[in-house]
Amino acid sequence: MNRRSFAATLMAGPAIGAAAWAGWRFVQARSAASCWACTRPVHDHMRTVAEVNGHSAEYCCPACALSEHRQSGSPVKVTVLTDYLTITAIQPARAFIVQASDVNPCKSHAAPAVASDKQPLRSGFDRCSPSMLAFRDEASARSFASAHGGTVVAFNSVAAEYAA
Ligand SMILES: [Zn+2]
Ligand SMILES: [Zn+2]
């Protein structure tokens, strides 16, 4: 486990975000992708980009990217989130997350029978749950949560939870 450096990495978010920004158009131009970790389709309004072991990968949602950290123990550096409502890229350091609302688009796709590391999935576990949706500001996150339930938190504090 390298949790301390994971936390440090998150604190460096703005600089990393700026670097990721440069690659955004290139990444966006690629054809519709499936999630690096779970192979579910990447929905445009939940697209999450993170670096793991120096490799930049696309995830179906922030919950899936953070599950990757818990499973692999490798630092997962989220570089790009997507505003759920406007489908625009946002920097993680500024994003707010609605956690565990009643909306989880990933779960409309069956989880694969085997994880990408070939280990059988434990029954009852879903790497995309509880759902995490990203928003560009606290106000839009709160108005979403008032309609769909869930808890509003700054992305940085959620990520710290997984790094603690
Ligand atoms: Zn996924
Ligand atoms: Zn997902």
Number of domains forming the structure of the chain? 1
How far does the centroid of ligand 1 lie from the alpha carbon of residue 19, in Å?
Answer: 23
Closest ligand to Cα 132: 2
How far does the centroid of ligand 2 lie from the alpha carbon of residue 62, in Å?
Answer: 7
Judged on CB neighbours under 10 Å (0-12, 13-18, 19+), 107 is middle
Closest ligand to Cα 38: 1
CB 163 within 8 A of CB 10: yes
pTM over 0.85: no
For residue 117, being part of any structural domain is answered with no
For residue 118, being part of any structural domain is answered with no
Q: What is the predicted pLDDT for the residue at 25?
A: 45
Closest ligand to Cα 112: 1
What tokens were used for 2?
A: 């390298």
For residue 119, being part of any structural domain is answered with no
Domain of 135 in residue numbering reads as 3-112+124-163
For residue 53, being part of any structural domain is answered with yes
Which pLDDT band, with edges at 50, 70 and 90, does 113 fall under? low
Q: What is the predicted pLDDT for the residue at 73?
A: 86
Query: For residue 73, which phi and psi values (nearest 5 degrees)?
Result: 75, -5
Give the pLDDT mean for 109-131.
Answer: 70
How far does the centroid of ligand 2 lie from the alpha carbon of residue 19, in Å?
Answer: 24
For residue 92, being part of any structural domain is answered with yes
Task: Look over the chain and give the mean of its residue pLDDT values, rounded to a whole number.
Answer: 82
In the structure, ligand 2 is a single-atom ion and the residues with CB under 5 Å from it are 60-61, 64, 106, 128
Q: What is the predicted pLDDT for the residue at 137?
A: 97
For residue 129, being part of any structural domain is answered with yes
d(CA 159, CA 164): 9
